[in-house]
Each structure stands twice: as C-alpha cells, then as structure tokens.
C-alpha cells in the first residue's frame, strides 16, 4: 500500500519540500507520496488526528503551526521539547512523535558559513517564530555566550527568552525592542547576524538598513533566496549565506526519521536548485502569491 507523508501548513502552495522529498522516495524505491495540506489553524487538530492512521509515515509541519502542534502529539523528542516547536512528526503505532529537524539543519548552515574560522560567541537574531527557536537553541548548544533577539512584537521575543531560561542559564540571552539604533549598537558588538524573520520572503525588503552591516559580520538568512539583506551584507564586505543548507538538511533528517534510510542528499539538493531556477524563492511556510521582483540568483 502506498504510504503518505503530508506537509501541514497554511499556506503551503509553493513549498519546495514536495519536489525534494518525492524525488528522494522515488530514488530509494519507497512507495510513498508527499502531499501538501493547506490547513488553517482551526483545522490543525483534525489534520493531526487523520495522520494517526496506518496510511501515514508521518508529516512535516510548517508556518504557522510549528508551536501550536506541540500539545497535539503524544511524545516530543529532546529538541522538540527544548525549542517548543515541531517541524516533523513520525508515528509509533497510533502514537505521534514530534521532532525538530530545523535545529540540525541550522547547525549545518552555521558550520558552512563559519567555515574554518573560529566559531563566534556572540549573535544577533532577528525574529522569534518557530524558525528563530531552532536558531536560538542551535546557538546555545553550540556554546554561544551572548545572544540578543529582536522581534517586531517584543512580547513574543520575551516569551521565547523565557522558554529558554533554563537552557540558557549559563549565558546571556536577551530580548530587545526593535529600534534601529539598538540593533545598530548590538551589531557593532557581534560577529553573527541571523535573520529568522520572513522579511524579504515576498518583497525585496531588508530587516535592517544597509549602513549597519559591517564587513566583519557573518550573515545567515533563513530565507532560501538572494534577499536584499544578503546583497547589502555582501556589498558591505560581509560573508553571507541563505537558507538552502538548512532547508536541505532539515528535510534530509526528516526523510531518515520517516524511512530509516539515509537521505539522497545530492538529488535533494538538485531538486531544490531546479525549483529555485524555476523562480520559486521561498523556504518553508511561504505565503502564497507570485515570487516578487527580488530575484533568486
């Protein structure tokens, strides 16, 4: 019987995961389909009930459900618990297990950006959603000593900091109000900037003015496209990376959780590149609508 894996989000119309995961199933001869389920928050609980049946290998969960789904599964892995966000679900009989493979994906992306240089110890993180939670947990466990989080709605960043209070007890994790002058002052003191907001996803905007980006910075943008932030940072002489490696490796980790097999990374990367060449510019959880003028390179 053909098994099913679903991506539950709202919206999911332009997801890149479909092409990447279906190609991986086909390549390894796994009789499974990857489906996109567009479910608004009110329908999330029903969708989670539905995937308990034997037809399903599991699911991916994306914007805006990663935090909301946590109480709906039966068991949560350490990373799901630590982040308070779930992006992958597997089945143990009728019980559902919640995982967070964004953390592993983020670690790959960070390591690649830092390269042979010394791992920095200070970071500025923009955003406080599900993606930001994986980023902050990844940074804490990497040994960062100071992480400053800026978010449009300060209370959400404060909630995230509170969530990590125990994990971050040995270091400084702070939420600060989104004011240009404060962001500028913090960037001058840091080596790593991570954009975990969706600013730049559907419009050619940057979360920060170009002038505050210094040449010493490493800039990681979770968005899978050549955003204005990345272009401004590169023009300032900074090292930059987009969300490709995070997307690829969170997907590969999810594939292995569902199938028990190593993921065909090269093929998955090729499928992502094809989608990008076709004009799709966003990572998971992208709003619907046509890609904006800011071209993926």
Q: Which of 11, 18, 120, 285 binds ligand NDP (CB under 6 A)?
A: 285
What is the pairing mode between strands 56-61 and 88-92?
A: antiparallel
Considering the rule CB under 6 A, would residue 128 count as an interface residue with ligand NDP? yes
d(CA 140, CA 127): 16
Considering the rule CB under 6 A, would residue 222 count as an interface residue with ligand NDP? yes
d(CA 48, CA 58): 10
Q: Do residues 146 and 121 make contact, with C-beta atoms less than 8 angstroms apart? A: yes
Report, in Å, the least distance between residue 179 CB and ligand NDP.
13
Residue span 167-206 as binding mask against ligand NDP, x where in contact by CB under 6 A, dash where not: -----------------------------xxxx-x-----
d(CA 196, CA 243): 10
Catalytic residue numbers, as ranges: 66
CB within 8 A of 50, min separation 6: which ones?
Answer: 56
d(CA 150, CA 9): 25
Considering the rule CB under 6 A, would residue 48 count as an interface residue with ligand NDP? no
Considering the rule CB under 6 A, would residue 103 count as an interface residue with ligand NDP? no
Considering the rule CB under 6 A, would residue 156 count as an interface residue with ligand NDP? yes
User: Which residue's CB is nearer to ligand NDP, number 95 or number 155?
Assistant: 155
Considering the rule CB under 6 A, would residue 291 count as an interface residue with ligand NDP? no
Cβ neighbours of 54 (radius 10 Å): 10
Q: Do residues 151 and 127 make contact, with C-beta atoms less than 8 angstroms apart? A: yes
d(CA 16, CA 109): 17
Q: What 8-state DSSP symbol labels residue 119?
A: P
Residue span 2-41 as binding mask against ligand NDP, x where in contact by CB under 6 A, dash where not: ----------------------------------------
Q: Which of 75, 95, 153, 179 binds ligand NDP (CB under 6 A)?
A: 153
- Contact residues for ligand NDP, defined by CB under 6 A: 63-64, 66, 102, 105, 127-132, 151-153, 156, 196-199, 201, 222-224, 243, 246-247, 250, 282-286
């Amino acid at each position: 019987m053909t098994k099913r894996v679903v991506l539950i989000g709202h919206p999911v119309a332009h997801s890149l995961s479909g092409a990447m995961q279906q190609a991986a199933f086909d390549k390894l001869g796994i009789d499974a389909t990857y489906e996109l389920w567009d479910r608004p928050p009110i329908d999330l609980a029903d969708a989670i009930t539905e995937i308990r049946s034997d037809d399903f290998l599991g699911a991916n969960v994306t914007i805006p459900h990663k935090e909301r789904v946590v109480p709906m599964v039966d068991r949560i892995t350490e990373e799901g618990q630590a982040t308070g966000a779930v992006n992958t679900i597997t089945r143990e009989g009728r019980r559902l297990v919640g995982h967070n493979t964004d953390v592993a994906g983020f670690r790959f992306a960070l390591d690649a950006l830092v390269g042979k240089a010394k791992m920095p110890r200070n970071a500025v993180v923009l955003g406080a959603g599900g993606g930001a939670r994986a980023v902050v947990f990844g940074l804490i466990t990497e040994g960062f000593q100071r992480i400053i989080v800026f978010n449009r709605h300060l209370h959400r960043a404060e909630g995230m900091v509170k969530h990590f209070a125990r994990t971050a007890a040995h270091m400084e994790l702070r939420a600060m109000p989104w004011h240009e002058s404060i962001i500028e002052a913090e960037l001058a003191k840091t080596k790593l900037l991570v954009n975990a907001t969706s600013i730049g996803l559907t419009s050619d905007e940057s979360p920060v003015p170009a002038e505050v980006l210094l040449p010493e910075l490493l800039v990681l943008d979770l968005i899978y496209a050549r955003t204005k932030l990345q272009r401004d940072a590169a023009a300032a002489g900074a090292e930059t990376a987009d969300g490709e490696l995070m997307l690829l490796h969170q997907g590969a980790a999810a594939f292995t959780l569902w199938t028990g097999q190593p993921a065909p990374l090269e093929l998955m990367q090729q499928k992502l590149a094809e989608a990008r060449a076709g004009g799709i510019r966003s990572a998971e959880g992208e709003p619907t609508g046509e890609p904006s003028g800011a071209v993926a390179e």
